[in-house]
Amino acid sequence: MGLPDKIKDYIVPGWLKILPGFLNKLQSELSMTPESLAYEIWQEAHDPEINPEILWDANVRISTDLCEEEKVFLNHRKLKTVKALANYLQIDEKEINPNDVPTIAMCGSGGGLRALVAESSSYLAAKEAGLFDCLTYTAGISGSCWLQALFYSSISGQCHGKILEHLKTRLDVHIAYPPAALTLVNSAPTNKFLLSGLVEKLKGIPKADFGIVDVYGMLLTARLLIPRGELNVDAQDLKLSNQRRFIDTGNFPMPIYTAVRHEIPIDEQEDKGTHAAKERAKKQAWFQWFEFSPYEMWCEEMEAGIPVWAMGRNFENGRTTWRENGLALPELRLTLLMGVWGSAFCATLSHYYREIRPVVKSLAGFGSLDQLLMEKNEELVKVHPIDPATIPNYALGLKGQLPASCPESIFKTPNFQLMDAGMSNNLPIYPLLRPGREVDMIIAFDVSSDAREANWIKVVDGYATQRGITGWPMGAGWPPEDASESEVAEELAKVEDATEKEAADKSNEAQQLTGQGTPPAEKKRMVNSLGYCNVWVGSTKERTGDDEPPLSKRVEDDMELLHHDAGIAVIYFPFLANPKVEGLDPLTSDFMSTWNFVYTPDQIDKAVALARANFEEGADQTKRAVKAVYERKKSKRLEKEAQEKEERRFRKMRLGMVGKKLGEGMHADQFT
């Protein structure tokens, strides 16, 4: 080979030479000619033996209640968690009343592959401690959605350790590296596995925009949901409804996946005339949360949902719109949903800036630039440089049947534009507060790049207030890292004033319940900086008049969790640097960027070690908190049973007196 050839090979990578051949083959497979793969996929989309849901009728369920399938799951799961709690707390299983078992949810933040890797380790550590088996729900955003999809697949064997081993074999290649991606897309059996969802959407929903998020979802699936060896793909892994096989009998927690729709009601005001009206409309924007479980796709704001196996088909007036052939489309595949759940790049310009803000703080002139961008935030938060993915809108024709708060656009647009829920809150707490789920404790692993700045726990306050949720720890959180001393002092004073009056009562009551408290050496004073494990507890105490709910301070003594009026307990694990794991800082290590899509086995090991070390820092405190919530529920049940027993005894005594007097000839109406 001569020098010119060497230079050409250096400048033009070898894979570029074979790219035309790959693309020509892919184009042929997608041509829809009778011998093409796309034609085969589309034929199978009409086969009820392969996709039985295409024959099933589906209605929009308008209700705030949980669906019946989830209620059945809860009954089964409760029986499983009794045994798990006994093992975790080292209590005789026979002593545990199922009604005393806390409903515990574990959730993970967004953060791309950083979240996927680190939270796999956190969940594994929780499993080894016996805590994971006590869960009723898990919930995810972005990378933690990918984690759930992997856990409830044929790849993992429902073991987080196997997930980590799988990731070591798959993440050392970028998801968009052409030779790797195109080889999978052009070779059997992975080509049908990856292209089925795209073909069904392109052919079945012609009005649905096909864009970057759809391709991104396919590339994610190619990296994450294809096992090493690439031949043993399982089509069952591509339907969310198939995850029921792991949870219907209560063997595992129910996963909740999340996405949001950004409502920017500008068009609604266009014909209302005044410039002032249009300006107000530009400021009125919010995110609507959608949740996806193996049972249902549901939107809280609309108070409506559909069976998850009906995702992707069209609806009108709450009923399935059957296609001309009398069939519906197959369930929307995970190849598309993986992209929707993790589409952080569909963020607004405001979110883009928030992501890079910690990195650029050291630049000269940062202060003035930061001030300028913060002043323009109301404008930046409306702009999405990349369009979100689309899913058919099931609310068409339901105007007048959904809550009045639903925006007019819901009843006009044929498709929902859905994106990464981290745009709204990078912790998926909102679905866990849904009535009917009755969650007693939330354990949150936050791998956000801006955890210290963006106080995602405190953001929930507005949601809880708006929906009248009792028991949420209002005011939980911490002052930002760059807060002034006066701001920190003011924040601490508010919390301390709000809780000081109740402290003595809480301590006395809890002492009576358990006879012990937190060891003095382990009591912690609330400080400005975040710890590895942070606990808050809300209050269910009824408010009088317009009184604000009491603010919550960080739990210093386990007995605070035992108080009769204690509400939801939140245990928060931020992903912080730890001296036990040298050479890794989530804020400064380049490979831990949200936008990094290549992890070497060594980098995975480092992230795993850090997540495990941080969990171990709070393992004992977490166990004590679970024990305290269990004891509180037990105490309240026993108190209620004693009260009911006394009421029955009193009624029986009164009936005996009435019978005696009637026997003496007195009329019953003489008794009050």
The pLDDT of residue 512 is above 70: no
pLDDT value at residue 479: 63
Give the mean pLDDT of 227-256.
Answer: 95
Give the mean pLDDT of 441-461.
Answer: 87
The pLDDT of residue 515 is above 70: no
pLDDT value at residue 447: 94
Most confident of 179-183, 486-490, 496-500: 179-183
The pLDDT of residue 113 is above 70: yes
Give the mean pLDDT of 489-509.
Answer: 44
The pLDDT of residue 357 is above 70: no
Give the mean pLDDT of 229-241.
Answer: 92
Give the mean pLDDT of 359-376.
Answer: 48
Percent of the chain's residues with pLDDT above 90: 55
289 CB-near residues (< 8 Å, 6+ apart): 258, 259, 260, 299, 300, 301, 421, 424, 430, 431
pLDDT value at residue 230: 78
Lay out the sheet containing 61-62: strands in order across.
61-62, 304-307, 296-299, 286-292, 254-263, 135-139, 104-108, 441-446, 566-574, 534-539
| Chain centroid offset of residue 573 CA | 15
For the stretch 254-291, pLDDT in tens is 999 999 998 876 554 444 444 544 444 444 568 899 99
- The amino acid present at 477, given as its one-letter code, is G
pLDDT value at residue 495: 42
Who has greater pLDDT, 175 or 145?
A: 145
The average confidence (pLDDT) of the chain is 82
The pLDDT of residue 2 is above 90: no
pLDDT value at residue 599: 95
Residue 163 · residue 144 · CB < 8 Å:
no
- The amino acid present at 12, given as its one-letter code, is V
Give the mean pLDDT of 311-317.
Answer: 96
The pLDDT of residue 492 is above 70: no
3-class DSSP string for 442-507: EEEEECCCCCCCCCHHHHHHHHHHHCCCCCCCCCCCCCCCCCCHHHHHHHHHHHHHHHHHHHHHHH
CA dihedral for 435, 436, 440, 446, sign (positive or negative): negative
Give the mean pLDDT of 351-364.
Answer: 48
How far apart, in whole angstroms, are the C-alpha atoms of residue 127 and residue 357?
35
The pLDDT of residue 154 is above 70: yes
For the stretch 330-340, pLDDT in tens is 999 999 999 99
Q: What Cα–Cα distance (Å) separates residue 624 from each residue in 55, 119, 139, 519, 569?
A: 51, 22, 23, 11, 12
3-class DSSP string for 2-27: CHHHHHHHHHCCHHHHHHHHHHHHHH
For the stretch 100-111, pLDDT in tens is 999 999 999 999
Residue 572 · residue 457 · CB < 8 Å:
yes
pLDDT value at residue 480: 56
Give the mean pLDDT of 446-450.
Answer: 86
pLDDT value at residue 354: 52
Q: Decide: helix, strand or coil at residue 150.
A: helix
- The amino acid present at 245, given as its one-letter code, is R
Q: How confident is the model at residue 644 (pLDDT cuts 50, 70, 90)?
A: confident
pLDDT value at residue 31: 78
Give the mean pLDDT of 181-202.
Answer: 90
The pLDDT of residue 522 is above 50: no
Candidate from 118-127, 358-367, 505-514 with smallest mean pLDDT = 505-514
pLDDT value at residue 348: 46
Reference 251, options 92, 77, 425; nearest CA is 77
Give the mean pLDDT of 639-661.
Answer: 80
The pLDDT of residue 503 is above 80: no
Q: How confident is the model at residue 550 (pLDDT cuts 50, 70, 90)?
A: low
Q: How confident is the model at residue 33 (pLDDT cuts 50, 70, 90)?
A: confident
Reference 441, options 137, 109, 95; nearest CA is 137
pLDDT value at residue 371: 55
Q: How confident is the model at residue 18 (pLDDT cuts 50, 70, 90)?
A: low
pLDDT value at residue 527: 39
For the stretch 198-223, pLDDT in tens is 999 988 887 777 778 888 899 899 99
On the CB side of 20, CA atoms within 13 Å amount to 1
The pLDDT of residue 444 is above 90: yes
pLDDT value at residue 263: 85
Q: How confident is the model at residue 376 (pLDDT cuts 50, 70, 90)?
A: very low
pLDDT value at residue 10: 44
The pLDDT of residue 252 is above 70: yes
pLDDT value at residue 265: 67
Q: How confident is the model at residue 228 (pLDDT cuts 50, 70, 90)?
A: confident
Q: Decide: helix, strand or coil at residue 569.
A: strand
pLDDT value at residue 53: 98
For the stretch 38-95, pLDDT in tens is 999 999 999 999 999 999 999 999 999 999 999 999 999 999 999 999 999 999 999 9
How far apart, in whole angstroms, are the C-alpha atoms of residue 565 and residue 561?
9
pLDDT value at residue 23: 63
Who has greater pLDDT, 2 or 209?
A: 209
Q: How confident is the model at residue 530 (pLDDT cuts 50, 70, 90)?
A: confident
Percent of the chain's residues with pLDDT above 70: 75
pLDDT value at residue 646: 81
Q: Decide: helix, strand or coil at residue 112.
A: helix
Residue 36 · residue 24 · CB < 8 Å:
no
- The amino acid present at 312, given as its one-letter code, is G
Structure tokens at 586: 């989530």
pLDDT value at residue 273: 45
Who has greater pLDDT, 126 or 286?
A: 126
Domain boundaries, the chain: 348-383, 642-670
